[in-house]
Structure 1
Amino acid sequence: MREAVAHCVKTLSGVPSAQWRVPAGDLEWTCWETLEHLADDLLTYALRFGLAKPMDVRRVPLRLSRDREDGPENVIFGDAAAGPDGLLTVVEACGGLLATVVDHASPTVLAPHVFGASDPEGFAAMGVVETLVHTYDIARGVQRDGAPPEQLSRRVLVRLFPDVDIADDASSTLLWATGRIGTPERPRRSAWRWYGAPRGSR
């Protein structure tokens, strides 16, 4: 998780403020909104394992809001006065919190997710996927190279995408698996999901 966040910060640090208002790749959200959404994902994943009985609480009941009608619905937002590097600090903090929480959670505890209950390892992998693909989305918007690191991509593909065969390289396979790119051999996915169920229950 920390390696994925470090990749995000390295890729996106120093991007001028004006560029953060453009769409993030093919998303309807701006680059700024997409990074806020990423921070929000990482935080809410971490909060699940702060509960004594995570499976008893479908969602930690924080108030959700949007900055605009078509923007993401979040519980946290970056301080615009701190600029893009300030928002990257928020992402780093949320990613570090998730990493710390899953490191210390019982490996057998489960928490709910829309795609089915998962364990700390699964939520860490989900956080890595969110970080890699949204970094890629934003990098497209700000015209930087946001290709996901190969080894991280391979690890999350093995953990969360048992239905996907790795073709060519893991980085491009992850982008294909999450609907970001297509190839002549594998058309772009219009719908996709991951499988977070603990390894032993598959």
Structure 2
Amino acid sequence: MTPDDLDRVVQLALAALRDAPPAAWGGKAGTLEWDCWETVEHLADDLFAYAAQLGPRQPPLTDEVPFVWEPRRPGGPANAIHADRAAGPAGLLQVLEASGALLIAMVRTAPPETRSYHGYGVSDPEGFAAMGAVETLVHTYDLAAGLGLDWAPPADVCARVLHRLFPDAPADEEPWPTLLWATGRGELPGRERRTSWRWYGEPRG
């Protein structure tokens, strides 16, 4: 996974989401409990948080950088990043793009030997790029379902995400359906749908 891969995924997601009807942002994002606006805020917050983990000269290895994450309503996502609703959907997507740019920049500039904490394994810049990509890929899938949009990301990037973060995923299926299965969002022939899942962020040997 490279910064260019992440940049490509973020820009493709933004291009898809810009086609959303303005009135649709209050509807549920697929099977999530959050509405579409909240889901974009959550995604922006993920990208920001991953960038923050790579920021300190001595990145934390045992916990997250201690920003305050809190929801705006009971059951909403606990974020440090929230978009000003007065700015409308265009402003919301600008927040997403800016958060993505922060992570892309940190992955480009952090030394490859950098290690920082994540709950799914202490990881390196490439790992955080892959985490940002998987969050963007699958949450855009959730959003597309709620907003009535088409979303079919490139197979090559999905394959690299699977290789980096999901070593237990089957290698003999198409990458995008496999990524949806790996994240509990889809089915594969002969395999049970996942009701719980995680990725593995540790650097590969």
User: What TM-score results when the alignment is normalised by the length of structure 2?
Assistant: 0.93
Match in the other structure for 1:125? 130
1:20 aligns with 2:25: yes
Q: Structure 2: any 5+ residue segments left out of the alignment?
A: 1-5
C-alpha displacement of 1:81: 1.2
Is structure 2 residue 61 aligned with structure 1 residue 61? no
> After superposition, where does 1:1-202 map in structure 2 within 5 Å?
1-56=6-61, 58-200=63-205
- Checking the alignment, whether the CA contact within 8 Å between 1:136 and 1:148 is kept in structure 2 is no
Question: How much does 1:67 deviate?
Answer: 1.4
Q: 1: distance between equivalents of 2:89 and 2:191?
A: 35
Q: For residue 199 of structure 1, give the secondary structure of its aligned residue in structure 2.
A: coil
Cα distance change of structure 1 residues 56 and 153 upon mapping to structure 2, 3 Å threshold:
closer
Percent identity for Structure 1 against Structure 2? 52
| CA displacement at 1:56 relative to structure 2 | 5.0
- Distance in 2 (CA, whole Å) between partners of 1:87 and 1:167 is 38
Aligned residues between the structures: 200
SS of match in other structure, 2:156: helix
**CA displacement 1:64-110 (0-9 Å, x = unmatched):** 22111010000010111111121111111111110111111010110
Distance 1:65 1:18 in 2: 26
TM-aligned CA deviation for residue 168 of structure 1: 3.3
Cα deviation, residue 198, structure 1: 0.8
- What amino acid maps onto 2:47 in structure 1? L
User: 1: distance between equivalents of 2:144 and 2:61?
Assistant: 38
Q: What TM-score does the superposition give when structure 1 sets the normalisation length? A: 0.95
CA RMSD of aligned residues (A): 1.2
Report how far residue 48 of structure 1 moved.
1.0
Q: Which residue type is aligned with residue 104 of structure 1?
A: T
Map Cα deviations across residues 38-64 of structure 1 (whole Å, 9 max, x no partner): 000000100111101113561222222
Describe the superposition over 1:131-187 as per-residue Cα deviations: whole angstroms up to 9, x where unpaired: 000000000001111223211101100111111113431111111111111144222
* Whole-angstrom CA distance in 1 between matches of 2:78 and 2:44: 12
Structure 2 CA distance for partners of 1:56 and 1:159, relative to 1, 3 Å: closer
What residue ranges of structure 1 are gaps of 5+ in the alignment? none
CA distance in 2, matches of 1:63, 1:84: 24
Superposition misfits of 4+ residues, deviation over 6 angstroms? none
